[in-house]
Structure 1
């Protein structure tokens, strides 16, 4: 005979509501009680029906994940972390991508396909403009942002200013005095965007050293390898005296390395390079980087969102993660005569 939720509650000595919360991973159940309920459910062979749970709660047990890219390292890692956390709590993920053309104007985000299909939304690294934020809000479900944020919403992010300062200071401490910056500004979001804070951190580190963040030292690498490569050529044509580069992502930093190779320059003898991420392929090129826990950020965003869905109190507006400098072979003391041949 098949056992129901009432049987699990009776044997476990708890209410059916507690059984339901324990089996669905909803907060508010003591870990020992949850383990006991799970053990009893396993012994009785009870498996909760997702359809029944949805009908009872009015929830879809699905979370929408909105991202402009799935092939960039950061976005893929965050999505993976979010999906893992959602799965652990019995939720599915519904991925919704949108057009991020390199040229403006681009088509605006239209998340209408998510309406009445999700209990909440995670926006991953999406540089959304104000009207796009409003259409996401109009879905009428909790929203959490990762990376780029929006006023009035929970944002899971890095301490981007500190990240950039540490990376730039590493180059300065090695003796570099002309340090370029490859930014990832696809659109100008102001202080809502990581690229804004990374630019600010780079500029502040130079100022601390008595140096100027001249506009001709900054180029837009558009957060990918090709963009990093092309923009570095622009940078070195403009400022051949650059001996160090801070790139706002590892993928752009890899493009910097390729551009140096195109020009017959050696890394780090002629050009030192620092990135941000901790990309799995960074080790292949010996890339010095600011390692960030992207998978953990995705998991944190999912858990914050599920708390919101369950009616838990709001956490602090920003859930901030730190980065760690990982020194490899792409940075070194500038070589005497490193500018020859540029």
Structure 2
């Protein structure tokens, strides 16, 4: 008998000791059919005595699956994306699935990824975290023969999880309208490299529709596109403050854009909300500390659901293609009826 620790033990050793074929050992340890219960127990006992552990890689390959899911994301440094990643990882690791992370920080990295497809044959599914793909890029994913899921944005025709961004924007603007505001600016978001993010378009559309339904024409000088982030929000607010006729309220594309706008307003000596109200979208962890009125969404929960959706697809199920998560207004003290601007 081979002694534990004396040499590396493999499936051949177990088969020799048990007096059965290697395939019988494989089936017995994998819970497959074709092996009597008595033989299965003997093989399991011998495996324990010999210190043999089934290789996860071999087990996965024998089932035709890798046991891995690839996460493709434009960044891992921002709250929304890291929260989605955390949700996906929590769901997949609990199911025994390994997660491979592919951060694509700029257009060059993205181009190389889709040219080389480093995830080919390494994963059973790919989860794209909230960034737009061209039709060519979708085609490249499709030819990999793996399931593709989108987390963070609803994508027509693709399995996806996210909020209704247009509805979230309408919630925000309708809150300001309900307080009596009529001159409402929007600090919108644009990608510096020209990518067209669905949320950018949908949230601006929600802003325009809410004003239109209230009988208010959109003043285009009040729609200020900026690069996403705190610095962008500050730049956008600085531009709005140069207008001869100031708005009484600001709808910011996201909470982080709103933080920059708040910073600029306070530097200018204007009080929030007495002089100008401001509202964002996301309910970022700092939003409560900043007392920011916002529209809540849970990127962690979206990640969990995207992970679950990918598991269902890998198991041959046909779940709902689009899962729309709730987006609810959270009123704090950055909004009030219009003042005397």
TM-score past 0.5 threshold = yes
Which has the higher mean CA deviation after the structures are superposed, 109-118 or 318-327?
Answer: 109-118
1:316 and 2:335 aligned: no
**Deviation per residue, 1:59-111 (Å, 9 max, x gap):** 2211111111112221111111001001111011111111337xxx9963624
Which of 279, 282, 294 does residue 277 from structure 1 map onto? 282
Which of 77, 90, 99 does residue 105 from structure 2 map onto? 99
Counting only pairs closer than 5 Å after superposition, residues 78-97 of structure 1 correspond to structure 2 as: 78-97=84-103
C-alpha contact 1:99 1:109 (8 A) present in aligned 2: no
1:52 and 2:58 aligned: yes
1:76 and 2:76 aligned: no
Deviation at 1:124, TM superposition (A): 0.6
> What is the aligned partner in structure 2 of residue 63 from structure 1?
69
**Deviation per residue, 1:12-70 (Å, 9 max, x gap):** xxx648xxxxxxxxxxxxxxxxxxxxxxxxxxx99864223212112221111111111
Which of 326, 330, 341 does residue 326 from structure 1 map onto? 330
Alpha-carbon RMSD: 2.8
> What is the aligned partner in structure 1 of residue 247 from structure 2?
242
> What is the aligned partner in structure 1 of residue 122 from structure 2?
117
C-alpha contact 1:218 1:235 (8 A) present in aligned 2: no
> What is the aligned partner in structure 2 of residue 135 from structure 1?
140
1:159 and 2:164 aligned: yes
Counting only pairs closer than 5 Å after superposition, residues 21-36 of structure 1 correspond to structure 2 as: none
What is the CA–CA distance in structure 2 between the aligned matches of 1:224 and 1:51, rounded to whole Å?
A: 42
SS in 1 for 2:274: coil
SS in 1 for 2:289: helix
Cα distance change, pair 59–271 in 1 and its aligned pair in 2 (3 A) = same
SS in 2 for 1:169: helix
Deviation at 1:7, TM superposition (A): 7.2
C-alpha contact 1:147 1:193 (8 A) present in aligned 2: no
Cα distance change, pair 91–106 in 1 and its aligned pair in 2 (3 A) = closer
C-alpha contact 1:5 1:46 (8 A) present in aligned 2: no
Cα distance change, pair 249–303 in 1 and its aligned pair in 2 (3 A) = same
What is the CA–CA distance in structure 1 between the aligned matches of 2:175 and 2:244, rounded to whole Å?
A: 20
Cα distance change, pair 57–201 in 1 and its aligned pair in 2 (3 A) = same
Counting only pairs closer than 5 Å after superposition, residues 106-255 of structure 1 correspond to structure 2 as: 108=111, 110-111=113-114, 112-148=117-153, 150-186=155-191, 187=194, 189=196, 193-238=198-243, 240-255=245-260
1:266 and 2:271 aligned: yes
Cα distance change, pair 228–8 in 1 and its aligned pair in 2 (3 A) = same
Q: How many residues align?
A: 299
What is the CA–CA distance in structure 2 between the aligned matches of 1:166 and 1:154, rounded to whole Å?
A: 25
What 5-or-longer segments of structure 2 have no aligned partner? 5-13, 15-24, 34-50
C-alpha contact 2:83 2:300 (8 A) present in aligned 1: yes
**Deviation per residue, 1:196-230 (Å, 9 max, x gap):** 11111111111121111222221223331111111
Cα distance change, pair 210–122 in 1 and its aligned pair in 2 (3 A) = same
